[in-house]
Amino acid sequence: MDITTFGHSLETINDGLTVFSDGRPAPVPLVATVISVDVTAGLATVVTTRRFANVEDRPVEAILTMPVGFEAVVTSLRAVVDGRTMVAVAKSKEEAREDYEAALEEGRLAVLHEEVLRGIHALSVGNLAPGREVAVELQTVVPMSAGVSGPFLRIPVTVGQLYGSSPLAPVDDVVTSAAVRHEADLTVTTDAGQVLLSGRQVSGVERITLDASIEIVVQGGRFGTHQGVAADGRQVRVDLRQIAAGAGALDLAVLVDHSGSTGEQAAGPRGLTIWEAIRDGLRLELGRLRGGDRIALWEFDDTCRQIGETTGPDAARLVSKLKKPNGGTELERAVKAALENGAADILVLTDGQTWSSTVDALAASQARISAILVGPSSLDANLGQLCTMTGGQLYYAPGDDVAASLSFAFSALRSVGRAVEGSVASGMPERVKALRGGVELIAQWSDAMEVRSSDAIGRFAAALALPLLGAEAAEDFARAHSLCTHRTSLVLIDEVGAMVEGMAQQRKVPLMARSPAELSDSIGSLKVSAFRAAPVPFSAASAGDMSSIGFRESFARLAKARHTVLSEDLLPPVSAHDIRQLFVSLRWDALCEDLLAGNLRGLSEEQRDVVSSLAGMVQIVNFGKAKLLSSEIVALALIADLIDDRLGRRFVRRAFKGMAVSVWGHLRLWRPSAAGAPLGQ
């Protein structure tokens, strides 16, 4: 069994994708997708409807972690069940999660949409009953980017193989699989111009596969003005216009990603790789520079090196010195190297296929960092945040046309300005200006005309203004406008539908891998072939108390001391870390009913030994008698509490029958570092 960096088995994470841990196949609950795009005056309203169906004989929880465009604003979430439409409300992340979990505990259908990272969202559909369906409709508003032929829109639908370690917990991590095929019916309407989908003219409904980003150009389209309503009834006007070229000279460090993933195909008609598209675009646009422009050209993979530095069109000659793709994507190291060399303006050209968490380390720098993303599976999550925090902009190259994006980036970089600025009065925004992909957006609020709920434009404008507000004010403003942000989530609960019995089994829905030839599944940043081996069994451990005695002998020694009051030196001779490793891949949802009934056959022999030994401890025995619980169930609940993942917490609530933590917390197998109190005292 292969293990991920989080200690979860591949079969466990992919339970619901291809196989159970015991090898039985299970269906993917996402069965249909419809995407509707309406483009008006440079703003795209994207409505994605996903239909989930449960064809199993038990309730399931479908979880889909997906890329959502970094500049996209989630403006509403609806669910349709049995002809009834329910609308989600925005709550703080903690409150939304608590409401969702409480609904699952009651057996009610619930839907939760969370931002796990900006640019990556998780959709959970819990307690979907056997034989039932639910359609979940997500609306986003996205500003179009400037393009040579007209406004450009990129809708990400999958990711590539990401370099580095994912910061996400397994249940929230991005999963891709070559074993699934996702398709969608796509329609695009526009107020002006002709719609081009990946370079070809389209109209009506298009059937597409969701293995590459959706790239839409509105040829002859325009940017313009929108009117909307804010949550407090004020009118809001949003103006979009393409940024004019500045007059200043460039003094720019250009960082070129030549990691191994840039050797993949770009989605253009010329058949270029991502690296070749970057190379050709640089050669063309650097050759058009003004005489006073200074360029320092760098390249990076696992390491970073400066190619050279020069002025004017001569910079194009440096491009021939770029090396072909190889290695990983150490973005943070590359940016730091440019900063140490005195760079004040940095432009990164990359496919974005990295988990490199550069934001915290680099956001405080004085440099302005911008980026151009190239490739159909590029991820803008971390890089987009870095650009935003440093006052830069994020651009997307349509297909393999990197030159066009470079032209817009150079034009914007000739001007000095902040990515977001505006004014606030009495804690409410009055005006905000934001720069997005070569486009200037200005939102202005006027006096309230009538009291009614906000609309999509009003909510989009509210999202633009959030950086102007303090943390608490921003959360309140986001909740009032039903926004999904890093502090708020959207949740809805079916209060009248039929309820289900038992714990729903999780079904992680994978994104479609781009290349059909790639047969290995991936979880987050890793391929199956890169997963480390399972941890050494306790019986073969060689550290600490386990150095000279076997697993069962250790617990036999513990059993002799059960008549005494348990103190720190009599805790189980295996560490909390080792217990966590032994149980971390346990499917608490699949085994819940059996475990609560006292049936431990689903556990391994080593796991049963741990449960048996813990269940014999005097504190656990006495607590079980007092609460009318078997000591085995108490032991299992304490182990699940130690694991502390989503399924483990659900098992704890069921095992302890909703008892407050204050009632059983003294039995915990772990202690806060400052507490130091022995178990049971």
pLDDT at 91: 98
User: 300 with 325: CB under 8 angstroms?
Assistant: no
Percent of the chain with pLDDT strictly greater than 70: 83
As a whole number of angstroms, the distance between CA 140 and CA 205 comes to 20
As a whole number of angstroms, the distance between CA 430 and CA 438 comes to 23
pLDDT at 452: 67
pLDDT at 351: 85
As a whole number of angstroms, the distance between CA 311 and CA 205 comes to 49
User: 390 with 78: CB under 8 angstroms?
Assistant: no
pLDDT at 450: 63
As a whole number of angstroms, the distance between CA 69 and CA 469 comes to 22
User: 504 with 127: CB under 8 angstroms?
Assistant: yes
In this structure, of 1-10, 49-58, 150-159, 394-403, the range with the lowest mean pLDDT score is 1-10
* Residue 398 binned pLDDT confidence (cut-offs 50, 70, 90): confident
User: 11 with 21: CB under 8 angstroms?
Assistant: yes
pLDDT at 678: 36
Q: Which long-range contacts (CB under 8 A, 24 or more apart) does 336-341 make?
A: 336/361, 336/362, 337/298, 337/300, 337/304, 337/306, 338/253, 338/255, 338/296, 338/298, 338/304, 338/367, 339/365, 339/367, 341/253, 341/296, 341/306
As a whole number of angstroms, the distance between CA 415 and CA 418 comes to 10
Say whether pLDDT at 261 is over 90. no
User: 14 with 175: CB under 8 angstroms?
Assistant: yes
Phi and psi, residue 40, nearest 5°: -135, 120
**Close Cβ partners of 267 (under 8 Å, ≥ 6 residues apart):** 198, 212, 213, 215, 375, 376, 399, 400
As a whole number of angstroms, the distance between CA 438 and CA 459 comes to 22
Tokens of 36: 């509707």
Helix 605-615 vs helix 576-583: angle between axes, to the nearest 10 degrees? 130
For the chain, the straight-line distance linking the first and the last C-alpha, in angstroms and rounded, comes to 39
What is the CA angle 281-286-291, rounded to 5? 165
* Residue 451 binned pLDDT confidence (cut-offs 50, 70, 90): low
Q: Where would I find the H helices in 35-143?
A: 93-106
Q: How many residues does the chain have?
A: 681
Q: What are the tens digits of pLDDT across the range 107-145?
A: 999 999 999 988 899 999 999 999 999 999 999 999 999
User: How far does Cα 483 stand from its chain's mean position?
Assistant: 16
Say whether pLDDT at 565 is over 70. no
Report the half-sphere exposure of 291 (CA within 13 A, side-chain side). 0
State the pairing for strand pair 152-155/214-219.
antiparallel
**Close Cβ partners of 680 (under 8 Å, ≥ 6 residues apart):** 565, 566, 617, 618, 619, 666, 667
Q: What are the tens digits of pLDDT across the range 299-315?
A: 998 888 999 999 999 99
State the pairing for strand pair 345-350/251-257.
parallel
User: Mean of the pLDDT values across residues 65-76?
Assistant: 94
If you ran DSSP here, which 8-state letter would residue 533 be given?
Answer: P
Handedness of CA 569, 575, 576, 579 (dihedral sign): negative
0.85 surpassed by pTM: no
What domains can be seen in the chain, in order of their start residue? 251-413 (3.40.50.410), 538-667 (no CATH)
